[in-house]
Chains A and B, each alone.
Chain A
Amino acid sequence: MPDDTLNPVVGIDLGTTYSSIARWDGERIDVYRMHDGQESIPSIVHIQDSGTPLVGEMARPRLMTDPSNTVEKAKRFIGDETKVYTLRGKPYTPVDISSLVLQRLKQDVEKRYPKTAGFDIAGAVITHPHYFKFPQIARTQEAAVKAGLPVLRLASEPVAAALDYGFTNYSRMEKTGSEKILVFDLGGGTFDVTVIEVINEATKLTFKVLATGGDDMLGGTNFDEALAQWALNAQGIKFDGLKPEAKSRAVANLMEQVIKTKRELSSVDSSYLTVPNILPGQHMELEITRAQFNKILEPSCERIRRILSDTLTTARLRSGELNKSLMIGGSSLIPVMEDIVREETGVDPWADADRHLAVCRGAAFLAAMDDGRVTKKEIVIEEVTAHALGVRAAGNVFSVMIPANRAAPVQATRIYTVKSSSFEVQPFQGHGRLVTEPTVTALKPISITGVRLGPNGDADVKITFSVNNQQILFVKIEAPGVSEQRQLEV
């Protein structure tokens, strides 16, 4: 019988801004508290003079005092092979930075036990956003291995959140059936929405991602800024021409009150946004109702509503087919978000989700199931392609072979014409018309030589893309004189 204390299996939410770790304690999910009592650490890394990394809360101030040796939000760049941070003269890739964050989580947990106790993490599930492309998922795994974590698997954040919701039901054999779940994840800087079908059978638990959508530039920070701007306009206060110190102080005071007011408006109908003496001879005192706040958020809400509606359409859900809406991410606490979800889905949001830790908790539960510590069930995660897959065609056109939101496994074949006996098939992933757009990512190219050209000096090339359940892309290239098959390294 494995020891859930000394040899636990863990789930890790490697977040853009915060990261957390939880374990299966034999009966339930237990989120580890870090040495400072918090349940998460900021995903910030600073390299000190000595070359020693400082990770988490202690690294945060260095973003201002020593920004050239401090990195935050490295997750946004993971998978980008060209991205290198030079810190104290040494190169660090986003994988290195993410690995330091993961290592810090691991070490913080290890420090609770004496060295002689024999503490050793037996297995780990690491989460990633559903929209991550192949290289990003592969590099996340690399970061975990580099941190010394025994990786059981990687899982997408919405799937983990769905597992947290269902952890009591799904682990029992007798509770079988199917549920369609919406995961609405609105954090500080990103918004993701996913529709998942969970099929619970006696010996198998299947998560079928039906559709996904989102915006990685939309979140709580946008709402704070909108509210602050509204307040400054309403009171006619301007920060132009101020000394940097006075401006910094005024902004800090204002934003602190803005965040308090925003949080209060989640539980009361009206609140005050008050900053006396914000500047010499200037005060801010405003009463704001929830209706006014909602109006301020309207442009963001419209965008959220549209993404949600498109995702539900893609999932082809008939009226009444959705069973649950899970609200996660701190910004999902804003009441208007629940209203939007209720209106768009016709389902009351599930109120009991741990909005900040659901992903980490679900990952720990998945680790426990994978490791056979909960009732052993085979876990099958059927993803849809989060992004379109295609190749570069003439004129740098992104020639799509498998569109986004197609259930895996999926296969597509197209015929292209080449005018040379050697050429390169360059697969791409993303969305856009041209492969040169920043939203389109290049995958590893495949070089082909020895094609027999026809009398017109050209040849037809048949390219087949297939994506399996593990989201691995297989590329098959057939041309006269050539048959090349590659599994794309991710």
Chain B
Amino acid sequence: MEPNKSNEPPASVAGESLPATSEVAPLVVGGPAVDPVAPPADPPVAEPVTEPSPEERDQLIATVEAARGKFLALLRADAKPKSPDVMAAATAYAAALNESQIPLAEEWSRLQSGVDAETAVGHTSECDKLRNDADRLIANYAALFAGLPVLEQAVVTELDRMKEDDPPFLAAPAEIREPLINYKKGLQIIQRMFGRLHARKKPLEGIAPLPPAPTLPNEAPSATELANKLTEFGHAVNDWRVAGNTTQREIRKKVDGLRKEVTGFVSALLGPIDGIEGGLRNEPELLGRLESFRSDHAAVIDGWTRAYERLDAGLLPYFEATGLSSLTVEPGSAFRPETMEPGGTVVRLDRPLEEVVSVMRRGYALNGEQLRPVQVEVVVHTASETPE
């Protein structure tokens, strides 16, 4: 049958007449089977090109995205190194891409973004953090040494005030001179302690930047090369990860070493600083002993004492410049095991259990990281023994 080239219904079908207005005619039993409405004729083309339907296109895009995701997953930090899965994933990805008819250049830029995102996590970010830690520790170390002469000078200034050959001092009774000479002795010991710290200085080395992650070339390879190039790239990223994990371990070890050096120095520095705190604490006892001599020897007593107060106040700018901070706590606060250590207990049934009674020794932190907890005296309700 000749195809009907118009949209008009056929005028007649053998043996049957159809109403002119009818679009869909009921078939008459016994009549021949025909299309009630003939389809429009296709344009005459040599080979029809089948454009995927929107649904098919979505499906192909989804397949490419899934294949890309699978390939990228093999570049992740927790992926197994030298995995044979890389070649399989690269091949599947290339095949999906070829079939999808998505322009390679367009997909390439999406892949590049994905690769950048994957290689930015894992040891790269961890090593950057470690490098920052190292830089900060080295800066702390330099500042701690740079500020030492100021602390030493402050002690020298105090010692200069304590002249043993001054006539008023010589004229004072032994009950004044002896404790004051002993007071000066404490400062001289602190001066020597500060002086000995210089010998601890060592050159500290920073951490070199990591080798950068492999990157995809800007130009996409040809479709035929795609699978091989992706496999090569995937293996290169995996190798970089393996090398990076080893480097990360080494860097962590180096940063641990730096931290040990810096905290070791601070620990030594706390010797004279504790000495200043001890002097400050002991001073009232000395002033009490000298009080009865004040009327006749006020100039000597005032000239020699209060040195620890001034030295203690002078520590603050040093702390600020070095990242060090002293930790203390108000009496009456609740005990916090994260930042405090109990140095003594007092049985007080009228106060809450573990309330801080007094600060026995300051704590210290470097860059906010606690180096030594505050030692406190706390309330207990019974002088109980350990369960052993």
Closest residue of A by beta carbon distance from B382? A68
Q: Would you give the 0/1 interface string for B1-33, flagging 1 where the beta carbon is closer than 8 Å to chain A?
A: 000000000000000000000000000000000
| Chain A: minimal CB distance from B47 (Å) | 51
Once the chains bind, are A277 and B386 in contact (CB under 8 Å)? no
| A87 and B388 alpha carbons, distance in the complex (Å) | 11
List of B residues within 8 angstroms of A71 by Cβ: 386-388
List of B residues within 8 angstroms of A59 by Cβ: 337
List of B residues within 8 angstroms of A67 by Cβ: 384-387
Q: Does A241 reach chain B (CB closer than 8 Å)?
A: no
| A283 and B187 alpha carbons, distance in the complex (Å) | 10
Q: Does A276 reach chain B (CB closer than 8 Å)?
A: yes
- Evaluate whether A283 and B185 lie within 8 angstroms (CB atoms) in the complex, with A65-B335, A260-B267 already known: yes
| Chain B: minimal CB distance from A64 (Å) | 4
- Evaluate whether A280 and B286 lie within 8 angstroms (CB atoms) in the complex, with A66-B354, A285-B189 already known: yes
List of B residues within 8 angstroms of A72 by Cβ: 386
| A58 and B339 alpha carbons, distance in the complex (Å) | 10
| A57 and B380 alpha carbons, distance in the complex (Å) | 20
Once the chains bind, are A65 and B378 in contact (CB under 8 Å)? yes
Once the chains bind, are B387 and A245 in contact (CB under 8 Å)? no
List of A residues within 8 angstroms of B192 by Cβ: 274, 285
Once the chains bind, are A249 and B186 in contact (CB under 8 Å)? no
- Interface hit among B86-94, B161-169, B292-300, B342-350: B342-350
Q: Would you give the 0/1 interface string for A52-76, flagging 1 where the beta carbon is closer than 8 Å to chain B?
A: 0000011111111111111111000
Once the chains bind, are A58 and B275 in contact (CB under 8 Å)? no
Q: Does B268 reach chain A (CB closer than 8 Å)?
A: yes
Closest residue of B by beta carbon distance from A282? B182
| Chain B: minimal CB distance from A169 (Å) | 21
List of B residues within 8 angstroms of A119 by Cβ: none
List of A residues within 8 angstroms of B187 by Cβ: 276
| Chain A: minimal CB distance from B151 (Å) | 14
- Evaluate whether A61 and B342 lie within 8 angstroms (CB atoms) in the complex, with A67-B387, A252-B361 already known: yes
Q: Does B176 reach chain A (CB closer than 8 Å)?
A: no
Once the chains bind, are A68 and B385 in contact (CB under 8 Å)? yes
Q: Does A281 reach chain B (CB closer than 8 Å)?
A: yes
Once the chains bind, are B286 and A249 in contact (CB under 8 Å)? no
Number of residues in A with C-beta < 8 Å to the partner? 41
Q: Tell which of A5, A87, A285 touches B387, judged by Cβ atoms closer than 8 Å.
A: A87
Q: Tell which of B179, B282, B375 touches A277, judged by Cβ atoms closer than 8 Å.
A: B282
Once the chains bind, are A275 and B275 in contact (CB under 8 Å)? yes
| A276 and B380 alpha carbons, distance in the complex (Å) | 31
- Evaluate whether A249 and B361 lie within 8 angstroms (CB atoms) in the complex, with A277-B281, A280-B282, A280-B285 already known: yes
List of A residues within 8 angstroms of B353 by Cβ: 65-66
Once the chains bind, are A276 and B272 in contact (CB under 8 Å)? yes
Once the chains bind, are A283 and B337 in contact (CB under 8 Å)? no
Q: Does A85 reach chain B (CB closer than 8 Å)?
A: yes
Once the chains bind, are B385 and A276 in contact (CB under 8 Å)? no
List of B residues within 8 angstroms of A87 by Cβ: 387
Q: Tell which of A63, A279, A285 touches B386, judged by Cβ atoms closer than 8 Å.
A: A63
Once the chains bind, are A277 and B278 in contact (CB under 8 Å)? yes
* 8 Å CB interface, B179-231 against A: 179, 182-183, 185-187, 189-190, 192-193, 196
Q: Would you give the 0/1 interface string for A157-177, flagging 1 where the beta carbon is closer than 8 Å to chain B?
A: 000000000000000000000
| A71 and B385 alpha carbons, distance in the complex (Å) | 11
List of B residues within 8 angstroms of A278 by Cβ: 278
List of A residues within 8 angstroms of B340 by Cβ: 61
Q: Does A86 reach chain B (CB closer than 8 Å)?
A: yes
Q: Does B65 reach chain A (CB closer than 8 Å)?
A: no
Q: Does A244 reach chain B (CB closer than 8 Å)?
A: yes
- Which 6 A-B pairs have CB atoms at the shortest separation, nearest pair first? A277-B278, A276-B275, A64-B342, A68-B384, A67-B386, A280-B282
Chain B positions near chain A (C-beta within 8 angstroms): 78, 179, 182-183, 185-187, 189-190, 192-193, 196, 267-268, 271-272, 274-275, 278-279, 281-282, 285-286, 335, 337-338, 340-345, 353-354, 358, 360-361, 375, 377-378, 380, 382, 384-388
Q: List 8 A-B contacts (CB under 8 A).
A: A64-B378, A65-B335, A70-B386, A73-B388, A253-B274, A276-B272, A279-B282, A283-B186
Chain A positions near chain B (C-beta within 8 angstroms): 5, 57-73, 77, 85-87, 244-245, 248-249, 252-253, 257, 260, 272, 274-281, 283, 285
